[in-house]
């Protein structure tokens, strides 16, 4: 349980850093439009902190750590979410600074972000399968 609360805490701190960066970076650059940086804060809080708080609630009562799908979830999800967030930051910085991207650079940012989204979604499925399996065995 403590491990998952620590992961949750790391995501919460990253969310706060992301929120401060968004506010200050856009303010310093006089940027007042909606951009991708503004969504980093919420993604990290909800997909990072909240997911692992929920996992921490289930962990002591279920045998999640024994599930192979859960161990895979930890790796896939904790690679996919940060990858997605990093690409959101890259996209947001280019928006705020009005950097003109080549078609290849634009496609690369979208592609890498897409891989992160796929990994995050796969992680969710693995987590749900793990929870389902522990519910089946706890009867």
Q: What's the pLDDT at 138?
A: 56
How much is the mean pLDDT over the chain?
94
Go through 11-43 and write b for each residue having 16 or more CB atoms within 10 A of its CB, e for each that does not: bbebbeebbebbeebbeeeebeeebbbbbbbeb
What does the pLDDT look like over 12-40, one tens digit per residue? Answer: 999 999 999 999 999 999 999 999 999 99
* Model confidence, pTM: 0.90
Per-residue pLDDT, averaged over 87-116, amounts to 96
For residues 64-92, average pLDDT: 95
pLDDT at 63 over 90: no
Q: Which pLDDT belongs to residue 59?
A: 86
The answer to whether 8 touches 48, Cβ cutoff 8 Å, is yes
| Counted domains in the chain | 1
DSSP assigned state of 62: S
Predicted local distance difference test score (pLDDT) of residue 19: 96
Give the domain range for residue 91.
2-137
């Amino acid at each position: 349980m403590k491990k998952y609360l620590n992961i949750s805490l790391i995501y919460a701190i990253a969310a706060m850093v992301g929120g401060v960066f968004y506010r200050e970076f856009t303010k310093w650059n006089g940027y007042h439009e909606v951009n991708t940086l503004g969504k980093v804060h919420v993604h990290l809080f909800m997909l990072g902190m909240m997911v692992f708080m929920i996992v921490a609630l289930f962990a002591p009562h279920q045998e999640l750590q024994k599930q192979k799908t859960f161990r895979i979830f930890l790796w896939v999800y904790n690679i996919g979410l940060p990858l997605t967030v990093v690409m959101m930051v890259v996209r947001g910085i280019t928006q705020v600074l009005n950097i003109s991207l080549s078609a290849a650079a634009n496609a690369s940012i979208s592609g890498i972000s897409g891989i992160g989204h796929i990994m995050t979604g796969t992680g969710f499925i693995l987590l749900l399968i793990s929870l389902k399996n522990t519910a089946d065995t706890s009867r």
